[in-house]
Amino acid sequence: MLSSLRYDLKIIYNLIPEGSKVLDIGCGNGELLDCLTKRKKLKAIGIEINELKVAKCISKGLNVIQSDVTEGLQDYPDNSFDQVILSIILQEIENPVSVLTEMMRIGKSVIVSIKNIANWKNRINFLLNGNLALTEGTSEKFTRQGLFLSNIRNFKRFCKENKFKIIKQTYISNNFGTYFTVFNSFFAEIAIFVLKKGR
């Protein structure tokens, strides 16, 4: 089960303590939720807009709500969850700033993974072909704000401006499972951030 997860989801899995209360936004077919609920004995809820994916989650016995992420967070009280997860869908969200702000309100800790649109593969592909090289698990749907925040430097600047404290950051190449510590903006395909309120 755990071995079949995408590499970035394995990292997120390892960031979640046992017994946590977790919200997974854009949970897809529920691979991460399934691993978390079965192996870490925690309470987890998923939000997913795709009806077929929701049905697949429910068939696994997962607690998943069908909702648009831009509307599905407002009803939760402050600090409802220990962790709120948003994995590789930031570039697709119509109003990512609003969603991230709501996540920080309802979560004691927030985990966001982004596809780094500024990595070297995308830069070369854009120069040669005029389009972006996509990482596994992403679609071709981009919003203007989402595209802007799917860049390591822009995302970190956004966090600083909004007083979201980055307490952990991991930069990886999804193809090789390689961690990068220097020139992250250029080499990393995926960045994973753990955020908390405050500077």
Query: Which residue from 114, 116, 104 is spatially nearest to 79, judged by alpha carbons?
Result: 104
Domains of the chain: 2-197 (3.40.50.150)
Lowest mean pLDDT among 20-24, 157-161, 181-185: 181-185
pTM of the model: 0.85
Are the C-beta atoms of 166 and 111 separated by less than 8 Å?
Answer: no
Question: Which residues 6+ apart lie within 8 Å of 74 measured at CB?
Answer: 102
For residue 106, what pLDDT is reported?
Answer: 96
What tens digit of pLDDT does each residue of 103-157 get?
A: 999 999 999 998 887 565 655 555 556 555 554 444 455 565 666 677 888 899 8
- Tokens 């079949």 — which residue? 4
What SS3 class is residue 161?
helix
Distance CA 21, CA 44 (A): 6
Are the C-beta atoms of 28 and 6 separated by less than 8 Å?
Answer: no
Distance CA 87, CA 149 (A): 13
Distance CA 61, CA 191 (A): 30
CA angle, 76 then 61 then 80, to 5° = 15
What tens digit of pLDDT does each residue of 79-92 get?
A: 999 999 999 888 88
Percent residues over pLDDT 70 in the chain? 76
Question: Which residues 6+ apart lie within 8 Å of 56 measured at CB?
Answer: 29, 30
What SS3 class is residue 38?
helix
For residue 121, what pLDDT is reported?
Answer: 60
In b/e form, how buried is each residue of 106-142, taking b as 16+ CB within 10 angstroms?
bbbbbbbbbbbbbbbbbeeeeeeeeebeebebbeeeb
For residue 138, what pLDDT is reported?
Answer: 45
Distance CA 155, CA 79 (A): 23
CA angle, 192 then 10 then 173, to 5° = 55
For residue 46, what pLDDT is reported?
Answer: 96
